[in-house]
Amino acid sequence: MPGPQSTEKSLDRVIVRCGLCSRTQARLAIAQGRVEVDGVVVTEPDTWIDEVRARVRFDGEPLAARPRATWMLHKPTGYVTARIDHRDRPTVCDLMPASIGWLAPVGRLDLETSGLLLFTNDGELARSVLDPESCLEKTYVVRCSGSLDDQDLALLRNGIDIGDGQGKTRPARAERLSDDGRECTTLLRIHEGRNRQVRRMVRALGHGVLALHRSHIGPLSLTGLEVGTSRALTDAEVAALRAAAGASTRSPAP
């Protein structure tokens, strides 16, 4: 395998670095004979090539890097965070404009969770957003059954074991918004992204989740974006997200 300073990389990774498609899609396209290297069809995705000197064509067109793009979607409930669902449920990709080309969801919101979901072809930015070590804050509004008392809020603020074998959650910021004794609404800000974390935090307190909505990711909010609609982030918003997530300003390397 080439050393760290080499310009040689596997063919599938070269395609992904161009922001053209996911690695799974790249490997499938190569196996289907849709990719040429220096005029020869290559069907082995793990073939190593010189990404600087090799002439790669994808579906007959010269391979060229796509401009980096990052979008936000105001996800409704009832949509799966996936490109294709084998149970034929609607997916978040159904809500994105077809004209923008391939963008991957950054993380996921489960079927019954609504709110802010990012899409990008910038692999470095996506990894920074998802990295627990970045401490990027995600804000959720959670409506729970029953009443969360001060002791419950203290547990959320100090960390709670949600039964996933990873120990306590990181300290969260928890603020009670309303509570009528039968149900309550709480603003919860967390800095990690374990599987179904907010739901499991609330359930660990003995309460059910009636509704869950993500309103912010770091400096980004859904202000002005209707449910089910999407838009591209501005350059300033991307820069602010990079700064908040500790992402490099270098050209990303998926």
Task: Please give the residue range of the domain that contains residue 126.
Answer: 70-132+219-245
**Residue 88 domain-assigned?**
yes
User: Which of 62, 79, 98 represents a domain boundary (last residue)?
Assistant: 62
How far is the C-alpha of 38 from the C-alpha of 193, rounded, in Å?
43
Are 225 and 202 members of one domain? no
Q: Of the residues 110, 131, 161, 179, which is catalytic?
A: 110
Total count of domains within the chain: 3
Q: Supply the CATH number for residue 179's domain.
A: 3.30.70.1560
Q: What is the pLDDT of residue 250?
A: 44
Are 209 and 144 members of one domain? yes
CA atoms within 13 A of residue 3's CA, in its CB half-sphere: 1
H or E segment to which residue 179 belongs? strand 173-179
Q: Supply the CATH number for residue 12's domain.
A: 3.10.290.10
Q: What is the pLDDT of residue 251?
A: 41
∠ CA 158-162-164, nearest 5°, is: 130
- pLDDT tens digits, residue range 199-242? 999 999 999 999 999 999 999 999 999 999 999 999 999 999 99
Are 18 and 89 members of one domain? no
Quick check: is 38 catalytic? no
How far is the C-alpha of 115 from the C-alpha of 221, rounded, in Å?
9
- Beta-bridge partners for 71: 119, 232
Are 89 and 194 members of one domain? no
- pLDDT tens digits, residue range 77-97? 999 998 888 899 999 999 999
How do the pLDDT tens digits run along the chain, 254 residues long?
Answer: 555 556 889 999 999 888 888 888 899 999 999 999 999 999 999 999 998 899 999 999 999 888 999 999 999 999 999 888 889 999 999 999 989 989 999 999 999 999 999 999 998 899 899 987 888 999 999 999 999 999 999 999 999 999 999 999 999 999 999 999 999 999 999 998 888 999 999 999 999 999 999 999 999 999 999 999 999 999 999 999 999 998 654 444 34
Are 231 and 112 members of one domain? yes
Are 155 and 171 members of one domain? yes
Global pTM reads: 0.85
Phi-psi region of 101 (alpha: psi -120 to 50; beta: other; left: phi over 0): left
- Residue 161: φ, ψ to 5°: -80, 120
Are 30 and 95 members of one domain? no
